[in-house]
Structure 1
Amino acid sequence: MSALHPSRERLLAGALRRQRRPILLACALLTLTLLAGSGLLALAGHFLTAAALAGALAMGFNLFGPSAGIRGLTFIRILSRYGEKLIGHDATLRIARDLRAGFFARLLPQAPLGLGGHRVGDLLARLMADIERADGLLVRAAGPLVGLAALAATAVACSTWVLPAAGGLLALAIALLGIAVPLAVGWNTRQAEARRAQARADLHAAVLEGLEGAADLAALQATAPWVARTLAHSGQLREAEGARRRRLALGTALHALVAAFTLPAMLWLVLDATSRHALSAPMAAGLFFLAVAVLEAMAGVGLAWQHGAAALEAERRLERVAAQPTSLADPAQPRAPAPGAQSLMLSGVWFQWPGQPRALLRGLDLVIAPGQRIALRGDSGAGKSSLMALLLRLADPTAGQLRYGGVALRQFSQAAWHQQIAWLPQDAQVLAGSVRENLLLGAPDASDAQLWHALSQVRLQAHFQQHADGLDAWIGESGITLSAGQSRRLALARALLRQAPLLLLDEPTEGLDVDTAHALLRDLAVAARGRSVVIITHDPLPAGVVDASYRLMEGQLLREC
């Protein structure tokens, strides 16, 4: 399965399916824990009552059987609870891993062009907070509900066998606590959880955008309005959280009300049965304490329902982004690009973005020979970025063909085509990490010798050789420990490491002074020798950097002298 074309199975369903064995084992252990805990309380009540009635010196009282049972249930409860926590939380972490990896993989085909309608903070909220709630479906919702259902069925069956009236009363209380109360409290839980999740995402987006644009906010004296908006989002989240707590408090109160009527009624039933000699006193005590244990355990139903609703809403939010269809698809029988440098040809290429009134590219014809370096210029909006999107095959032309080595790009899988490309985007990121980690993004299997060679190609080798940590020298967030020129050179070294036959550069000298930019371009001309190079730029280029220069005007490519 290609990373760019992952399975269309729902994210959470796929993650749960892959972890189904530990999930089933965790649910079984949780059920055993609940059964052992309730059985322990019932057996203890039976044992203590029987011992009290028998007296301290009574002969023939079976002391060892019940005490052994109590010890056994205690050990079972301890071990099963430990196992359930160990296996359940391990499965939850694996589910979270699968959700994040799957969500990220589903975003990859959309990331360059299809996520423009989403705020970064909202995407971050989905990637972090929503996945955190979705992965808790097992340990916070499904597992407890399955265990409580098994406990309820067992307790009702045992109570009915001992005293049918007590079994009926317990069944009624469980139906109220497990079904009626959650429905009464959470009749609009889905809408409430949707509002809560959206308020959380809005707050994340506002905070992130404020941090990223702090300098602009200060310069424009717009900090106060941003703080006001952030406080408003915080208030909305506080209101949503308060509504959730009120629902939980109401559920707790209704649970206490049901228990307040059920336990006296149960006590009356078992005492009446004892007075009629229909039930022994120890059995009556055991039955009563079983009811106490079950009602106490059922207190977790409301919280489990709330967690379940939150997890399902989080899963819906993830799917709304991840399930967006992509405009590109791999062919049923993809062809492999020919090895080595090949010619890249554009024939009658037209391109118009969906929903836009006019075509940006109109009948483009261009041939890039193997090893040729060309420059593309044009005013803003002339179509340079659209042409780059076609070369990267992030979009397909509306009409016409792009061919590589005589084969249409549509006949290659995206993964195979991207192996032919080394790309330096306009906003190439230098990440917080070491020099080595930044370079290995371009070629994960590159040796230290190859890393040093790439640095030498962009004249950074001497700089890092002087550093005590060499390739392990730390680079701050966004390359803060480097100058702008050094950051661009490091990003270029990362692209050169790919050893791809086609090098695409989008505004490689953006933000650099003229001397630094020209030095970088001259180094590039040497380092990229033998590769085809396409440079999109507004800036003048030094002599000898490119073999030909073109200008995009009114959707056409014009050769510059």
Structure 2
Amino acid sequence: MSKREKVPKPTKQKRLKTPEMAFLNEWADCQSKRYRLVQLLGIVFTVSLVVQAWTLANVFSDLVITGTFSVSLLLMALSALFIRALTSFGRERLSAGASRSIRYSLRTKIIDHLTQLGPSRLRIDEDAALSTRVYEQVDALDDYFSRYKPQLFMVSLIPCVILLAVLPVSLIAFGIFMITAPLVIVFMIFVGYKAAQANRRQFRVLAMLSNQFMDLNQGLAELKRLGRSAHAKQRLGDSASAYQRTTMGVLRLAFLSTATLELFASLSIAMIALYLGLGLLEQLPWAKGEAPVTLTQAFFLLLLAPEFYLPLRQLGNDYHAKQKAEAAATALLEILVTQQQPAEVNLPAQGTHLSLVKTQSSSLLTFHQLSWQEAGRSRLAPITNQIREGERIWLSGESGVGKSSLLHLLLGFETGYQGECFVYDKSLDAVDLTAWRSRLAWLPQTPEWVNGSIRQNLVLGIQPPSEQALRDALEKSQCADFVDALPNGMESKLTELGAGLSGGQMQRLSIARALLSNADVWLLDEPCSGLDEDTANAVLDTLNRVSKGKTLLVVSHDTHPISWVDRHWNLTHGGLHEQSHQAIA
């Protein structure tokens, strides 16, 4: 979280709530001005409601008794009705706007946080499930912020105002309202708790379905070769059926809640109507021959009775939105609290960033007993060595010794390491992370692409280069021939999986992207993984030519030896060992 970003601090009252509710309330506080205006319009709406009921009761009673009515009262009733409609429209627009702003800000914050986490995001969940959280579960908060949050104020305001208006008119009607209203609320909470459990199950199944769909999409060609596509289809179908069942379970609870609340409200209104009808007929058992209320008062109470239960019914309908939002907030909080962003954890106080100016140090990177212990296990054995500028290092070792972890540390995505790491003579913790990353070119094991043209993927995140610079990068990385052979050249479309290109071609394009970035420090993680020997040798040959003069740290197994590097490091669980290696000019 950026220090410049204003996030409301939880009060003592908020600390007593669940983390999910504190999270939702903090984001709602960001739109407090809109919500206060919504409340103000709610007060106007409630006053208009009572005025409308009183004026219409007088108009109807005059029609029944005298056959006439007051035009001024009728105009007042119609004006109150118009004000109610206008304020209701304004409340909905303001609430929808607040919800939209909150969800936009929250989604931006989560995406920024995941970007800062980098590869560490995979500790939370796979990318497919994370995308579901970012889009589906953030949108699941809409009903909470646009409907439930504003309705909380109305459900306390309207019934209280109506009770005050009813009390001097009829104690019996007041008692019926007081007895039946809590029944609606209790049942709403009971059904809402069950709905929360169902929503959490639904989100878990949706995440599993998203992950399975992405895995199936990525490995479909391999599954066909192995003859397992039918089995994979069956698994995906089972997950889809499970999601369908959980969704229907949520809908059943929602319909059950709505039907029950409607039943309670209808019975309560019927009780008021029965009392008033018998009273006007002077047939009440305890008041034979007496009318407890006048006709005007009876009309007034009948008009207010549905309005008394309406906010309770609406809150009951929206209560499952609260439970759905809490379930979504649980998943979103897991992302935001997994790890603080490196910019806040690593960097010193504001104004003390250290620039990356070359010093008298002969080493660009220096490691002194650099290690990484996490959750009681070693992710990286202690390393002590240095990398000089322009030096090309090959780091080999078996899986699990921490080769990729070292790259993640250098990229600034991990902060909980032990020992020391220096850039020139300054600690990595103290340098400006943005300036350091601007010098890095990162070539992961599996290059990542966005849906778009080859040109768009090559220039993504950098200053648009000239056409000649693009051609030079393609030529140097040996991409020009196969790119020109495509039907649309550099305008040919790429998918996120690089569909239509071979593994070697995708690696060469990633090298071209590194060349265009003008980075002088290249970090490569298994650049030949999944490639056959001939293709791997061709990629390594390309790297040899284009990386001269660059500071290079390439991580790979011993499967494809790299003869042209300056030094060869071998990393084991016991530490780092430098191998005897003859560099080739």
TM over 0.5: yes
1:322 corresponds, among 314, 333, 336, to 336
Q: Distance in 2 between matches of 1:115 and 1:123?
A: 9
1:261 aligns with 2:271: yes
**1:62 aligns to 2:70 (yes or no):** yes
| Residue identity in the other structure for 1:323 | V
1:250 aligns with 2:260: yes
Question: Could you tell me which of 180, 190, 203 is aligned with 2:186?
Answer: 180
Instruction: Read off the aligned partner of 1:150 and give its amino acid letter.
Output: L
State the SS of the aligned residue for 2:504: helix
Q: Superposition pairs for residues 462-473 of structure 1, below 5 Å?
A: 473=492
CA offset digits 1:123-166 (Å, max 9, x no partner): 34432332222232122311123223222122222222444543
Q: Per the alignment, do residues 447 and 216 of structure 1 end up closer, same or farther by CA in structure 2, a change over 3 Å counting?
A: closer
Aligned to 2:161: 154
Q: Deviations over 1:470-498 (max 9, x none)?
A: 76543234222444333223333333333
| Cα 1:175–1:387 shift into 2, 3 Å | closer
Q: 1:389 — aligned with what?
A: 408
The answer on 1:313 being equivalent to 2:332 is no
Residue pair 1:36, 1:76 contacting (<8 A) in 2 also: yes
User: Match of 1:380?
Assistant: 399
Listed as ranges, the gaps of 5+ residues in structure 1 are: none
Partner of 2:106: 99
Choose the corresponding residue for 1:339, options 329, 347, 357.
357
Distance 1:349 1:314, change over 3 A: same
Give the superposition deviation at 1:405: 0.9
CA distance, structure 2, for counterparts of residue 416 and residue 343 of structure 1: 18
CA contact (8 A) 2:372 2:418 kept: no
Match of 2:59 among 22, 38, 47: 47
Equivalent residue, structure 2, for 1:412: 431
Could you tell me which of 82, 87, 91 is aligned with 1:84?
A: 91
Deviation of the 1:423 alpha carbon? 0.8
Match of 1:430 in 2: 449
Residue 388 to residue 283, structure 1, CA distance change in 2 (3 Å): same
Deviations, residues 93-119 of structure 1 (Å, cap 9, x unaligned): 211112212223344454523643534
Counterpart CA distance in 1 for 2:563 and 2:186 is 80
Q: Secondary structure of the equivalent of 1:299?
A: helix
Please tell me whether the aligned partners of residues 267 and 288 of structure 1 are also in contact (alpha carbons under 8 angstroms): no
Could you say if the C-alpha distance between residues 385 and 313 of structure 1 is closer, same or farther in structure 2, counting changes exceeding 3 Å?
same
Letter in 2 for 1:249: A
Question: Gaps spanning 5+ residues in structure 2: where?
Answer: 10-21
Count of matched residue pairs: 551
Moved more, 416-425 or 261-270: 261-270
- Specify whether residues 518 and 304 from structure 1 end up closer, same or farther in structure 2 by C-alpha distance, changes over 3 A only: same
User: 2:458–2:512: 8 Å Cα contact kept in structure 1?
Assistant: yes
Residues 232 and 138 (structure 1), Cα distance of their counterparts in 2 relative to 1, 3 Å cut = closer
- CA displacement at 1:534 relative to structure 2: 1.2
Aligned counterpart, 1:489 = 508
From the superposition, tell whether residues 303 and 440 of structure 1 become closer, same or farther in structure 2 (CA, over 3 Å): farther
CA offset digits 1:388-409 (Å, max 9, x no partner) = 2332243358553221111121
Q: How many angstroms does 1:429 deviate by? A: 0.9
Q: Is the 8 A contact 1:196 1:241 kept in 2?
A: no
Amino acid at match of 1:551: N
Task: Decide whether the 8 Å contact of 1:4 with 1:109 is kept in 2.
Answer: no
State the alpha-carbon separation in 1 of the partners of residues 368 and 485 from structure 2: 52
Determine the structure 2 residue equivalent to 1:401.
Answer: 420
The 5 Å alignment of 1:474-513 reads: 474-513=493-532
Mark the CA change 1:395 to 1:251 in structure 2 (over 3 Å): closer, same or farther. same
How far 1:23 moved relative to its partner? Answer: 2.8
TM-score (norm 2): 0.80
Contact 2:443 2:511 in 1 (8 A): yes
Secondary structure of the residue that 1:411 maps to in structure 2?
coil
Question: Amino acid of the residue matched to residue 130 of structure 2?
Answer: L
Q: 1:541 Cα shift?
A: 6.2
Cα root mean square deviation, aligned: 3.8
CA deviation vs aligned residue, 1:219-255 (integer Å, no higher than 9, x gap): 3633345544553454345445434443443333333
Q: Which moved more, 1:180-189 or 1:98-107?
A: 180-189
CA deviation after TM superposition for structure 1 residue 260, in Å: 3.1
- Identical aligned residues as a percent: 23
Q: Which moved more, 1:3-12 or 1:380-389?
A: 3-12
Q: Is the 8 A contact 1:156 1:167 kept in 2?
A: yes
Q: Which residue of 1 aligns with 2:79?
A: 72
Give the 3 Å change call, closer, same or farther, for CA 192–514 of structure 1 in structure 2.
closer
Which shows bigger deviation, 465-474 or 126-135?
465-474
SS at match of 2:374: coil
Q: TM-score under structure 1 normalisation?
A: 0.83
8 Å CA contact 1:359, 1:555 repeated in 2: no
Q: CA offsets per residue over residues 408-429 of structure 1, 9 Å max, x none?
A: 2122254443333221111121
Asked if the contact 1:442/1:495 (under 8 Å) is kept, the reply is no
Alignment CA distance shift 1:456-1:146 (3 Å): farther
Distance in 1 separating the partners of 2:464 and 2:448 = 20
Alignment CA distance shift 1:352-1:542 (3 Å): closer
- Cα shift at 1:216: 5.1
Matches within 5 A, 1:113-152: 113=120, 115-116=122-123, 118-152=125-159
Alignment correspondent of 2:316: 302
Deviation at 1:327, TM superposition (A): 9.6
Pick the aligned partner of 2:304 from 277, 282, 290: 290
- Paired residues of 2:369 and 2:419 also in contact (CA < 8 A): yes
Cα distance change on mapping 1:268 and 1:278 into 2, 3 Å? closer
Q: Separation in 2 of the partners of 1:488 and 1:465?
A: 17
